[in-house]
Each structure stands twice: as C-alpha cells, then as structure tokens.
Chain A
C-alpha cells in the first residue's frame, strides 16, 4: 500500500508521533511536524482522523491541521512532553546563539546537544538547567539518545560516539567509540529498544553501522544503506527486528532481519544490500541466551532485507517516526507521507 502524501507548504525538518498510552492497542493518530528554512518557521500538529469507519480497510484520510505555532529559527528536533518551557540561550557561542541540533527526553529529564559542543541536562519542571557539560566535544554534536536513565550517547561530526554518565562528576566521556579509517560525520543514533548495548548510527556517507557499546572500538556491521547523508535511523519500538532509515538521497528504507531461509526477499529495484559483518561471538556469561539477530554475524543464517517505502524518488527525506503500524515522514519537497499499514 502506498503512503498518502500531503503537501503542507513548508519544508519539514522533523516529524514525531504523539505517543500512544502503552496499554491500549491503538494506532497513533496525531503527529507533530516542524518546519525549517522559512522566514517564520512553525511547529504544527496534525491529526489523521477516524480510521475505523472504512470497512474495506482503506485509510485515505488526509492529515488535518489541528493547530500550529511560531518558532524562532529552524525546528531542529521535536519530542513529546507534558509540560512546556523555554530555556533561552542554552546553547551559545561567545558572541552569538548556537544552533541546538538534537533533543531527547525521558520524562522528566531532557538532554540537548548543539553545534557549540555542549551537552545540557534539564528537568522539565525546573527553569534552571540541571547540568552543563562544557566543551563536551570540539566539533558539532549531531544527535543524542538515552542508553540508561543516567547515560546518554552522542555522535559528532568527526565520527565518534561518546558515552556520558551523569552520575560522574567529571566532564569527560565515559567511553569513546569510533571507526578506524575515515572519520565520517555521524548524523543520527538510535538505541535498540530492548537491549541497551546495541546502537545503530547513520552518517554522512549513508553507511548504517550497528555497534555493541560494551565491546571494543569498532562497529559490528557496516551496511551501505544510502548514497547520501542518512538523517534518521529508528528501531521499531515494539518489534526491534525492523529498522527504518531515511536519507538526503530521497529514499526511506525499511530493514528487516530475517532468520531462516524460507523468507522471500522483498528487495525492489535491483537494490542490493551488502552486509559486511564482523565475527559475532556471543559474550561469555550472557544472561539471556537469545543473541540479538542484529549482532549475529553469520550472514547465511541471518539476512538483512531492505524495502523502499516511498513511491518515487523525492527530495531529501529529513525525518521519520514509526509507532505501532504507522510511519510518518517529512521531506524537503514540502510533503508529509503517512503509511498506515506497515508490515511489522
């Protein structure tokens, strides 16, 4: 089924679903979209309307605008919170404001990172920032994600992953991981929903890397995913065998690890996924005996298959979010695509 497109007259930098309460088996219906590169940027909330009125299962409701508000500067990141607050000048250079590049929240704590190389911790109900790690990085930090409640992982533009522990007093990272070889800037990072040591990153050259942060300095697998910068990578929150990536080259790929050899391939357009993986020896003393299929290196048993989700080559896909069976993504062609029946 093709996703529905809606043109919203502004280039979209971020889209996020409003989180659905975990107990109900509902599909998400409301998403937020932030714009960029406009003279006045807006954050807008869209609703998809009823999806149980059609008997033939056709969801062709276009998103409807619920409300929007102005935003100074480009919208770089969105997260859902229950309180609202503004922290002025949190990211700055000595004489100017610096762009904040990413925000992640795990209520009630928020962490933001920016082009000034700072990592800042906030609490949602406090006006003062809780902690600032100055000079966390000499280059721009592009993305951040929570590993554990007190640990965050950041990626920067010289190709390093840095782990920060807020329980420690010192301002230096607990661990630094990077690729040997060319230091390619990394743009996005996401953690496996169930296993906190597995992390996926995407970088300027479109390579998707899967890392095990406990182990060593090199990634577990390197996959040539896209031909241009990868902007966002997401594990599916409830079914982590699925991964989604979107990129500057206008494609949105859906990755699926399959175990077992009778699964038919879903490859389209002659696209080949090249999986280069290191030897995947399970760590001694593993608690659970099931090794995640992302780390098992034997490529004859576990294959990685990719599907293009968008109907045709568009301008850059800047952002995507996936929840339950719904996917929303925004492009530089000023269109929002919503897919309501993901095969997950």
Chain B
C-alpha cells in the first residue's frame, strides 16, 4: 500500500487571506494538525496583531454525540468478540460470528435512525445537511457490512447464496413496502398509478407471493381477461424457491427450476400475455430477459439490485466463485458506457470478487475515520479470512487498523477510556502505544488520576505509574497539601519523593516550631518505612508525643536511638541534641551513664565535622554557645547518673 493511487483531495481548512499573508507553519499531532503563523511575511507591511494558532481536527465524527453511542456500543461488542474462546467447534463459532456481525449492524442502524430523526426535526440548515451526510455514510457502511457478512462470514454455498443476496437487497430497498402499502390501502388499488410499478418491483425482488396478492386485486375486476391473470398467477405460484433446510438437493432444485423456466419461455413464445403489456413485461422478467430488466432501471435503481434480479431469473444456483463475472457485467450494463462508477460501487464490486483486501483498502480511503474498517477487519480476522499479510512495520493488517482507530479515539477528551481496551487486544504494539498515550491524558481531578493509575497498575506499567504519581504529588506539594503528596508517593512507592516531602515537613517544623498535619504524622503506619527520612520524621514526631505525655525515659531512649542508629540526618543532630537539653535538665535523672556517654560522643562527633565556612560570626557564636550549654548539661547529668547508679539502696 505504498503508492497513492488516488489523488488526495484538497480540503479548505483555514482561510489564508485572513492571516494577512503570513507564512504558515504546521505540525502533525496524533489526531489533528497544528497550524501557526510565523514571522516571515509574504508581502505587505508587518501587522501588529499577535500571531494566531489553529488546531485543525481531521475527524469531526468523533465529536458528534449520536455517533458516540456507536463508538460505545461497538466497543462492548468488540470486547465480547475478543473473549470468544478458541476451543469452540467451528460450526458454533460461525453462528456466533454471524450474530456478532448482526449486533454491529443493528447498532449502526440504531444510530442511523436517531440521526435521521434529528435531521428531520432540527431547525438549522447546516446541521440538517450534516446529519443527512452522516446518515448516507452510515447507510453505505451498513450496506457494505451486510454484503461482507453474506459473502464472507456466513459464506453461504450455492443455493442459499442467492437467498441471502435477495434478503440483502430487500433490506436496502425498503420503499417498495411503503408503496405497496399505499397501493393496497387506496380505494381502488388496480387504478392506482403506481399499481404496476409495485407489482413489477415485487417480482424483481422475488417476492412472488406478495406480487400475486397485489395482482389479485386486478383480476377481480376484469372478468374477460381473468384467464390471463390466472395464468400469470399460476406461473408465479410455481416459481421454485430453494429451501436450504429441506431435503431437496441443489441438482433437483436446478432441474425443477429449468422446467419452470421453459414454461415461462413457452408462454412468451405463445404470446399468451400479448393482450396485456404489463403482464408481458412480467413474463419477460421471469424469463430473465436482460433488456427488459434494464428497462426497469428506475425501479431497480442500483446495479447490484439488477445483478441479484438477473441471477434470480437466469442462474439461481450461482456458486460464489462465479459471482464476480456476473457482477462486473451487471455493473457495466446498468451504468452504461459513459457513467463512471462511484467509490461505493467499486467497493461492492471488489466484495463480489471476493477481494477482501481491496474492499478494506478502498473503504479506508473513502471514509474519514477508522471505525468501520477496524471493526470489520477484526471480525474477519477472527473468522480466519485474512491471510497474515505482513506490513512493513511488523504488525498485521488487523492490528494496524485497530491501532489507528484506537489512537484516534485517544485524542478525544472523553473516549480515551475505550481506546485502552482496543490497545489491550493488539498483541504486538498495543502496549507500547498505550504506554506512550496514557501519560498524555490531562489530569484535572484526583478521580481521573485514580482511574488512569488503575489502568496502568492493572497492566504493570510501573514507569507510567511512577510518573503520574509524581505529577500528582508535585501538584499537591505546590498547593501545600502534604498529606495528599505523601499518599501519592506511597502509591508509587517513590522513596525519593517521600524524602522530599519529609524534608518539607522538617523545614516547616524548624520554621514554625511545631508540626503541621499531625493527623498524618501520627498515623503513618507501615508507610513510614518507605524512606529513611520519613521514618525519622515519624519517630521524631513520636518523640514529641512521648515528651508531651511525660513518658520521659521512653522519649529519651527514642531520641538516642535516632542518633545512634544513624536515622537522623547530620544536619538535624544539633536540633535533636537541643531537644535533649530539657531532658538533661530535669530534676530526675533520665539518661543513664551509658546513654550520657553516647550523647557526649555524638556531640563531639558533630563538632569534629568541618566547619561551614559560610557561617557568619554571629552564627558561630550561637553554635559555640549551644555546644557549651550542652557540654555543661551533659557533664551535670553524667555526674548525677554516676551517683544514682552507684548508690546502693538500703
């Protein structure tokens, strides 16, 4: 599919003149095009207005609210289709596939009806024409899908093939029913101007019983020509129709049909119907005379109707491989030498020729979004009808189309959730596409972030989880919601960020002198272990709590362990030692001798560290004063502790 065989059509998107003759730059996006004005001017003076940026969206269908129902319902059917198990015997599977195909088609029809209703009821002219366009596109889509179902999915053999094709034509030419009803309900049906048109249309569609019913209205009137009508009635009644469920074989049916055909021919030769030209026309149709059929061009209205009628009356036991010869000739005969076939005609012709790839290719070119080709190809792939046609990018046709469709969905602000399921069922590249796209979903509220995270977590996309949690945590941090930030880092198991948040807390503490967000710190639980700094924070807070509850010995032990176990960062040791001061100054001895020795060694260790050269004299003074105070307090405590431990209780 490398050469372009059709010239691309130009679409006017942006009115160039209004851009005051500036050079335009552009950039492709996933589903749209960004067009911007540059500084280079083509001619004329430089205008003072600020440059504008346009976003040109290629696919407007995705925004239509009614078509959204199509996307949603077909998504459900798609997911159901993927779940059909492989080990079911093939005959059952075929019926399942046919019913799925019918489901898709009924969804299309429902959409079409709603669009039709809206087109009729709307006031705006442009909207009505837009709806009308969408209706005609959906009609064409359903027509093609139905034909593909008949020819490929159902794959009817000779005999039933024609019956299915007849059903197909009848479904898509429904005005016959309305006209027939009109005629039958009128006062004198036989005098109605469309009377004969209705009869002939019914015969052309092979609905002989109904044709007979309408004819009987005529027969009751004219007594003298009733014998002629009776003859026609008999002919129509005797027309054999193949019954696939019956015991009659195809050959038997063929023989019977030839007999009947010969009889019609004899009637024609005998000029039985010469008195009534309409009946003569009908007889010629029954014989399958091509010229007569072509004369009914208006009633047939489409070449494929002509094809099916022609087959009905000349070759009802048509076999699928022979179909294309008749299709090509019918189209040529019907359209005539001068008319050129429309894209829809070419697609249908390719279908009759059983050239699936051509059908898919032509549909992709003709339609502006990938919905139809993606779903149809997926269904056909499940029926094992597509050869593994490897494209250059390594994936097969079905995957390529589904990926394109899903990527288009992802650009929609709301339908991106459907696309996730589609990516899941593309084994080769689906995951990569999903990983790239899911990070770009805008996250306005926490709830949306939670949903996106759930999608990533279910598929073990840990990188994306980390990155999304980091975005949310950073945002929370900027808004001073430390608790939220922490809960996001816990979810991502992001130790680095947890450290950052703890630093923030500690900074707040040293600035304000007390802890904020106590409800969080008091209830960290096992999350505390995520990062060292966080553990320190939790334990430090616990120390404060213990102090507040006057459980001094426990508090002391905790404080010491914070320093000796090296959980506390160096920079905070001074603060911790200063916190120890009130404990040292208590009347009661809290720190034991060993503990005091440890505190002293910590203090000395701190002082041995390189002095910060940026410290001002004032800071140095404060530091030395603190150290002095601590040394004094430690010495006093040591003294008291030695005495206490040395005393023997009497």
- A residues adjacent to B (C-beta < 8 A): 7, 9-11, 13, 36-39, 73-74, 76, 93-96, 98-99, 101, 115-117, 135, 137-140, 156-158, 160, 162, 173, 176, 178, 180-183, 185, 204, 228-229, 248, 312-316, 332-335
> When the two chains form their complex, are residues A11 and B486 in contact, meaning their CB atoms are under 8 A apart?
no
Given contacts A115-B445, A315-B417, contact A140 B481 (CB under 8 A): yes
Q: How far is the CA of A186 from the CA of B173 in the complex (A)?
A: 57
Which stretch from B68-76, B117-125, B260-268 is at the chain A interface? Answer: B68-76
Complex CA–CA separation, A182 to B451 (angstroms): 20
Of A156, A204, A312, the residue contacting B80 (CB under 8 A) is A312
6 CB < 8 A contacts A-B:
A115-B445, A176-B519, A312-B80, A315-B417, A333-B72, A334-B72
Partner of A140, one of B79, B446, B490: B446
Chain A residues lying within 8 Å of B98, measured Cβ to Cβ, are: none
Of A37, A173, A178, the residue contacting B414 (CB under 8 A) is: A37
Among B164-172, B311-319, B359-367, B521-529, the one that faces the other chain is: B521-529
The one of B69, B479, B480 that contacts A9, using a Cβ cutoff of 8 Å: B69
Partner of B72, one of A7, A93, A180: A7
Q: What's the nearest-Cβ distance from chain B to residue A4, in Å?
A: 14
Task: Give Cα A140–Cα B482 distance, bound, in whole angstroms.
Answer: 10
B587 surroundings in chain A (CB, below 8 A) = none
Q: Which of A116, A173, A313, A334 is in CB contact (< 8 Å) with B481?
A: A116
CB distance from B134 to the nearest CB of A (A): 14
Judge whether A115 and B484 touch: CB under 8 Å.
Answer: yes
Residue of B414, B483, B486, B525 near A117 (CB, 8 A) is: B483
Cβ B483 vs Cβ A139 within 8 A: yes
Cβ–Cβ < 8 Å partners of A37 in chain B = 413-414, 448
Query: Shortest CB–CB separation between residue A254 and chain B, in angstroms?
Result: 22
Interface presence of B24 (CB below 8 A): no
A contacts with B: majority SS = loop
B residues 421-480 near A (Cβ < 8 Å) are: 444-448, 450-451, 454, 458, 479-480
List of B residues within 8 angstroms of A74 by Cβ: 444-445, 447-448
Cα distance A101–B80 in the bound complex, in angstroms? 34
From known contacts A101-B446, A116-B481, A181-B525, infer whether A333 and B487 are also in contact, taking CB-CB under 8 Å. no
Complexed CA–CA distance, A99 and B444 (Å): 9
With both beta carbons as reference points, the residue of chain B lying nearest to A41 in the complex is identified as B414
Q: With A182-B525, A314-B76, A333-B75 given, is the CB distance from A229 to B454 under 8 Å?
A: yes
Contact B413 A139 (CB under 8 A): no
- Judge whether B447 and A101 touch: CB under 8 Å: yes
A158 B523 Cβ-Cβ under 8 A: yes
A38-B413, A139-B487 known; A93+B479 contact, CB < 8 A: yes
| Complex contact A228–B454 (CB within 8 A) | yes
- Bound together, the chains give a CA A279 to CA B325 distance in angstroms of 81
User: Chain A: which residue is nearest B80 at the CB level?
Assistant: A312
| Secondary structure dominating the interface of B | helix
Closest approach, in angstroms, between the C-beta of B633 and any C-beta of chain A? 35
A116 touching B451 by the CB < 8 A rule? no
- Given contact pairs A11-B414, A183-B524, A334-B72, a sample of 20 additional A-B residue pairs in the complex whose CB atoms are under 8 Å apart: A7-B69, A7-B72, A9-B69, A13-B447, A38-B413, A74-B445, A74-B448, A94-B479, A135-B516, A137-B519, A139-B487, A140-B481, A156-B483, A182-B526, A183-B490, A183-B525, A228-B454, A229-B454, A332-B451, A334-B68
Report A326 CB to chain B, min CB distance, Å: 23
**In the assembled complex, which residues on chain B have CB atoms less than 8 Å from the CB atom of A204?**
450
Nearest residue, chain A, Cβ from B458: A228
User: Contact between B523 and A183 (Cβ–Cβ < 8 Å)?
Assistant: yes
A96: chain B residues within 8 A (beta carbon): 479
Q: Is the beta-carbon distance between B69 and A157 smaller than 8 angstroms?
A: no
CA distance A106 to B444 in the complex (A): 29
Q: Is the CB of B483 within 8 A of A137?
A: yes
CA distance A138 to B448 in the complex (A): 20
Tell whether B66 is near chain A: CB-to-CB under 8 Å.
yes
The residue that B484 contacts in the complex, of A94, A157, A176, A316, with Cβ under 8 A, is A157
Question: Bound complex: CA of A93 vs CA of B454, how far in Å?
Answer: 26
Per the bound structure, the CA–CA distance linking A333 and B421 in Å amounts to 12
Q: Closest residue of chain A to B67, judged by CB?
A: A9
Are A316 and B414 closer than 8 Å at their CB atoms? no
In the complex, are the beta carbons of B481 and A117 less than 8 A apart?
yes
Nearest CB of chain B from residue A91's CB, rounded to whole Å: 11
What residues of chain A lie closer than 8 Å to B450, measured between beta carbons? Answer: 204, 229, 248
Cβ contact within 8 Å between B66 and A9: yes
Chain B residues within an 8 Å CB radius of A36: 447-448
Tell me which residues across on chain B come within 8 A of A314, comparing CB atoms: 76
Whether B503 sits at the interface, judged by CB under 8 Å, is no
A185–B73 CA distance with the chains assembled, in angstroms: 32
**B65 within 8 Å of A (CB atoms):** yes
Q: Whole-angstrom distance between the alpha carbons of A135 and B69 in the complex?
A: 43
Q: Report Cα–Cα, A156/B451, bound state, in Å.
A: 17
Check if B517 is an interface residue, CB within 8 A of chain A: yes
With A7-B69, A181-B525, A334-B72 in contact, do A115 and B520 touch (Cβ < 8 Å)? no
Asked if A138 contacts B80 (CB within 8 A), the reply is no
**Residues of chain A contacted by B73 (CB below 8 angstroms):** 7
Which residue of the partner chain, among A9, A39, A178, A182, contacts B68 with CB atoms under 8 Å?
A9
Q: Which 6 A-B pairs have the closest CB atoms?
A: A138-B483, A139-B483, A138-B517, A9-B65, A93-B479, A7-B69
Distance of B72 from chain A, by nearest CB (Å): 5
Residues of A within 8 A of B444 (CB): 73-74, 99
Nearest A-chain residue to B457, judged by Cβ? A228
Verify A38–B519 contact, CB threshold 8 A.
no
Chain B: CB-nearest residue to A315: B417
B517 to chain A, nearest CB (A): 4
Q: How far is the CA of A188 from the CA of B68 in the complex (A)?
A: 30
A140, B525: Cα distance in complex, Å: 18
- Min Cβ gap B421→A in Å is 8
Complex: how many Å from CA A157 to CA B490? Answer: 11
Q: Which residues of A contact B69 (CB under 8 A)?
A: 7, 9, 334
Q: Are A248 and B454 in contact, with the CB atoms below 8 A?
A: yes
Q: How far is the CA of A123 from the CA of B66 in the complex (A)?
A: 40
Q: Give chain B residues whose Cβ lies under 8 Å from the Cβ of A334.
A: 68-69, 72
Asked whether B414 lies within 8 Å of A138 as measured between CB atoms, the reply is no
Q: Contacts A101-B447, A316-B451 given: A158-B483 contact, CB under 8 Å?
A: yes
CB neighbours (8 Å) of B482 from chain A are: 138
The chain A residue sitting closest to B525, CB to CB, is A183
Q: How far is the CB of B416 from chain A (nearest CB, A)?
A: 9
Residues of A within 8 A of B517 (CB): 135, 138
In the assembled complex, the CB of A121 is this many whole angstroms from the nearest CB of chain B, namely: 20
A157 contact set on B, CB distance < 8 A: 446, 483-484, 487
Contact of B445 among A76, A156, A229 (CB under 8 A): A76
Residue of A nearest to B66 (CB): A9
Interface string of B498-520 (1 = CB under 8 A from A): 00000000000000000011011
Q: Which residue of A lies closest to B479 (CB)?
A: A93
Q: Do A183 and B527 touch across chains, with their CB atoms under 8 A apart?
A: yes
Chain A residue nearest to B490 (CB atoms) is A183
8 A Cβ contacts from B484-501 to A: 484, 486-487, 490
In Å, the complex CA distance between A73 and B417 comes to: 18
Which of B413, B448, B490 is in CB contact (< 8 Å) with A39? B413
Cβ–Cβ < 8 Å partners of B483 in chain A: 117, 137-139, 156-158
B446 touches A115 (CB 8 A): yes
